[in-house]
Structure 1
């Protein structure tokens, strides 16, 4: 038991160091550099070195006790900045996935509705082009002819750059995850929100580990975008911080899209491959491929019954 707790403490310390302290310490170093150099001397290393030497020669930092206090203050400050980045990352993830955007405050909700409508119109245009090329290719194959697939592939890529399905959210990442639910409902009549908690319990451990890792990668990607927001105010004192902000924002956006796509692929593949296992576990025992009829039965079986109506109140007015 002692060895387990020691190993657990070691892992927690490693995560605390890698996720909070190290990024926070780098942020504090950049903030100190921005305060010292400013716009007038953005790359003056001698000025920065002189300032660091001045700080180090102060009486408060020349003693062992002062150095311990300084180290503790730096660690605490770095952890605080890291926690702030984690909190901003949660908000950035909520905005990025936009699951509940109709419930956002009015200004954000209006902007999200306008963005969703624009994406919907653009997607319809590209989807019509893609379906046109598909129909042309199908007619050509029916007559024993071959056509160049490049226009169809280009139209499909253009459509997927907007969304893999008809957009119902203001962001690509939100629609990428929502596409999983739409496809499972269309193909197998499965309600992913109802199915997933039960399916998770019957999945093999290695698959759950892969899905958990993909979900953690998505959280880290959105947290990287949050760091860009924290670095942005430093550009007011030191313009190179704007370059750091831009690099973090672009990298965070790219990683968020990649992580979202990987996570969505795993969710959809897992649901398609293992839903029959869940159906067998609860006694439906389907034979052959998963059919829409089985999906309807499974969804109905897993959906909890609604609460019964309250007893009638003679004092309650009836219309």
Structure 2
């Protein structure tokens, strides 16, 4: 038992150091450099080293007690910066996935509504072009008995996917990528994903749950990186070299967010399609070898919570 607790404590300490302290220490170093040099001496290396030497010679930094207090303060400040980045990352994730954008405050809700309308218009145009290309390729195959060049068709499909996999319903690509899973499962199999997912998760194999959890953690790390970008952005007002660092963090976070969202959505959809029949077996629902629409309707009926009506006359309500 002691060995398990020691291993757990060591693992938590490593995660605390990796996720909070080290990135936070880098942020504190950048913020200190920005405050010390400013815009006028942004690249003055000698000015920075002189200040560091002066601080190192201060009485508080030359005694053991002062060094312990200073180290503790730096660790606490670094951890606080890491927690702030994680909090901002959570906000970024909620904004990027935009699950409940209809309930956002009025200015944000209006912005999201306008953006969804524009994305739907763009998506409809791209879809029309893709359908026209499919029709042209079909006519070429019927007329010349040969397959048309697939590159225009692939380019039209790629342009459509860059907007959204299905008709846009959210203001962001990442939000629509997750929403597309719900749309496809409902359309193809009559599966209500929000209703189905909690009990399905309990029946998934351990390897499948591990893969989905890993993808979800990658999504969280990507949004946390965006949180760091938001923290670095104000430093550009004092020190211009923080600007390229902020831009690099933001672009990397955007790329990782899209990649992690796409991976998570693929795993989510694959898990439901592959294991919906396993859940049906657990619930005692007769089914065929595949998750057909009838099975989806049966699962929805079985899992949906039904609200009891008013008690009959003279009856006693359940306690």
Q: TM-score range by the shorter chain?
A: over 0.9
* Superimposed CA distance per residue, residues 230-273 of structure 1 (whole angstroms, 9 cap, x where no aligned partner): 00111111100111111111111111000000000000011111
Does residue 226 of the first structure (1) align with residue 266 of the second (2)?
no
Q: Label 1:296 to 1:156 Cα distance change in 2 as closer, same or farther (>3 A).
A: same
What is the distance in 2 between the residues matched to 1:311 and 1:98? 43
In structure 1, the residue matched to 2:266 is 265
Alpha-carbon distance between aligned partners in 1 of 2:202 and 2:96, rounded to the nearest angstrom: 28
- Structure 1 portions without partners, runs of 5+: 313-319
Aligned pairs (5 A) from 1:1-319: 1-142=1-142, 144-309=145-310
SS at match of 1:216: helix
Say if 2:277 and 2:289, in contact at 8 Å, map to a contact too: no
Q: Secondary structure at the match of 2:285?
A: coil
C-alpha distance in 2, partners of 1:233/1:173?
Answer: 26
Q: Equivalents in 2 of 1:69, 1:284: separation in Å?
A: 64
Distance 1:309 1:114 in 2: 43
Over aligned residues, Cα RMSD in angstroms? 1.4
Between the aligned partners of 1:84 and 1:308, the Cα distance in structure 2 is 47
Q: Secondary structure at the match of 1:285?
A: coil
- Moved runs in structure 1, 4+ residues, more than 6 A? none
Counterparts of 1:306 and 1:248 in 2: how far apart (Å)? Answer: 49
Which deviations, in whole Å up to 9, do the C-alpha atoms of 1:11-30 show, x marking residues without a partner? 11111111111111000000
Query: For residues 188 and 308 of structure 2, what CA distance do their matches in structure 1 show?
Result: 30
Once the two structures are superposed, what CA deviation does each residue of 1:48-91 show, in whole Å capped at 9, x if it has no partner?
11111100100011000000000000000000111111111111
Change (3 A) 1:32 1:273: same
Q: Which secondary structure does the structure 1 equivalent of 2:239 belong to?
A: coil
